[in-house]
Chains A and B, each alone.
Chain A
Amino acid sequence: MRELLLMIHPTTGVLAILAAVWVFVETLNASPVRSNVSNGASAQNRVRLWCGSMLTAVLMIATLISGGYWYVVYYAADKAIILNSAWPFAHSVLMEIKEHLFFATLILSVLLPIVVRGNDLALNRGARVLVLAITSLIILSSLAFEGAGAIISMAVRIGIMN
């Protein structure tokens, strides 16, 4: 069970990154073509933007729940191993940064659909810039977390082997 949880966490994290990339690209290509459904952005573009932004938020929340549960219930044992390993910085620096800075990424992920929902990204340059900034921050921070998580997992392995 705990191993499965530890696999779900980075999986949903990567999927959230992909969803954010999807929103980034859709925003760059926000279409001003008029349609019968909406005045401004093409209807399909608007739907994809909404779906992508909601998916980003939902997947990031799933990442929080799976990782947070594992952290609260199971991490103490791994923490002890890491601190006694050759890579104690994996906890004292990387894990501490990851567990706290993640809240910023979560806020950005929840903010994304709020911004996408009420603004026509095809016609509103300001909203477009804001969405591009939010998705960029989500992607860059999440990639950093993925790397940090890999180092933390390796530190546990090093601690067990030694």
Chain B
Amino acid sequence: MNPNAQVNQYAAGYSVAGVIAIILNTLLTWAKESYPPLLATMKSLAHHWVVHGVIIALVFLILGHILSKQSFARRMNGGTLAVYLCVATVLAGVGLVGFFLMV
């Protein structure tokens, strides 16, 4: 592994957490729009969009904190993380566009 391509542990940990949170964002949207009881539960807590945002933010921040302490985070390639983020964001976007075009 090229040490000049490895990013520091926080960049790696939070990047992976970002990938997970971005995908989860789309999955949560699919779930709440398809399963009324879930949407009702979220609405009972606060505005459903606010609850959605808080969940995603917490997943990103907490997972990022945890993952940045793991050993794998010290040897991740920045280019690989860039690919993961691009793929995740594009898939998440396509997933949302496709879902709302069909609904």
Residues on A lying within 8 angstroms of B by beta carbon are 64, 68, 71-72, 92-93, 96-97, 99-101, 103-104, 106-108, 110-111, 114-115, 117-119, 123-130, 132-134, 137, 141
| A119 with B8, Cβ < 8 A, contacts A101-B92, A103-B53 known | yes
Contact, CB under 8 Å: B82 / A132: yes
Category for how many chain B residues contact A: 35 or more
Contact, CB under 8 Å: B89 / A108: yes
Contact, CB under 8 Å: A93 / B8: no
Question: Which residue in B7, B26, B47 is a CB contact (below 8 Å) of A127?
Answer: B7
Contacts of B60 in A (CB 8 A): 107, 110
Contacts of A72 in B (CB 8 A): 47, 49-50
Contact, CB under 8 Å: A126 / B7: yes
Contacts of A111 in B (CB 8 A): 14-15, 18
Contact, CB under 8 Å: A108 / B85: yes
Question: Which residue in B11, B56, B85 is a CB contact (below 8 Å) of A133?
Answer: B85
A41 smallest CB distance to B (angstroms): 13
Question: Which residue in A64, A71, A107, A118 is a CB contact (below 8 Å) of B18?
Answer: A107
Q: Output the residue of B53, B79, B80, B89 with the most chain A CB within 10 A.
A: B89
B34 smallest CB distance to A (angstroms): 13
Kindly state the separation between the CA atoms of A104 and B26 in the bound complex, as whole angstroms: 9
Question: Which residue in B5, B10, B49, B101 is a CB contact (below 8 Å) of A114?
Answer: B10
Question: Which residue in B5, B21, B22, B29 is a CB contact (below 8 Å) of A125?
Answer: B5
Kindly state the separation between the CA atoms of A37 and B6 in the bound complex, as whole angstroms: 23
Q: Output the residue of A71, A106, A130 with the most chain B CB within 10 A.
A: A130
Contact, CB under 8 Å: B29 / A130: no
Contacts of A132 in B (CB 8 A): 82
Question: Which residue in B4, B15, B83 is a CB contact (below 8 Å) of A115?
Answer: B15
| A124 with B53, Cβ < 8 A, contacts A97-B100, A130-B7 known | no
